[in-house]
Structure 1
Amino acid sequence: MTNSAVSIILSKKSSNIKKINDLRGKVVISTAGTVNLKQSTAINTERSFGMTVLSTRDHAEAFLVVETDRATAFAMDGILLTALAATEKPQRASSSVENTPR
C-alpha cells in the first residue's frame, strides 16, 4: 500500500499562481508535521525552486497567513484544503486551487 494523497495549492487569485513552477521564489506554507510540508520541502530542493517553505501550528493559521499576504500559497491535502476553502468567509473565497503533481 502506498500513500497516494494528492497535495494541492491554495492561493489568492491575485497571486496569479497557475502551475507549480509559478511558486519559484515564493513563500509557501503548510501545517507542521504533515506529509504536505515534507513534499513541499522535497519539491523545493529537487527542482531548485528557491521557495521559502514555512510551517504553521494548524490549518486555520496557514489559511490566515495566505489571506494576509505573508505567504503566497498553502500546500495541503486536496480534500481537506478544498473543504476549508468552501467553508471560509466570502473575502477568502477569492482563492484558487491547483493540483500539484509530484
Structure 2
Amino acid sequence: MSETTIDTAELGEKIVNVLKTIYDPEIPVDIYELGLIYDVFVNEDYDVKILMTLTTPNCPVAETLPLEVEEKVKSLNEVKGAEVEITFDPPWTQDLMSEEAKLELGML
C-alpha cells in the first residue's frame, strides 16, 4: 500500500463526521442520526456519491440541503468530487432515526 492510497473506511468515517455537522432546520438533530443518509459510495477516484432523502418531499430545504451536503463533503481534502442524489424510495419515517436521535427528541 503506497502512501498515496487512502483508506476508504477511514474516508467513509470522515464523510460521516462531516454529515453529522449538517442539521435539518426543523429538527435539532443532524441528518446522519435522523437517518436521511441512505448510502455513501466512494470510488477509486475518490468521487463520492451520497444517496439521501428528506423528511418530506416538500421539505423547505429541498433545494439547499443537498447542496450543503455536497459542498461540505467536497471540502474534505481526499474527496475529488461529490454528488448527492435525492430519493424518496423508501420514504423517510421516524423508524430510520438512530436511538440517539430519538432520545434527543424525547421519543424514547
- Which of the pair is proportionally richer in strand? 1
Q: Which has the larger helix fraction?
A: 1
* TM-score of the two chains, using structure 1 as the length reference: 0.33
- Given the two structures, how large is their TM-score scaled by the length of structure 2? 0.32
Say which one has the larger Rg. Answer: 2
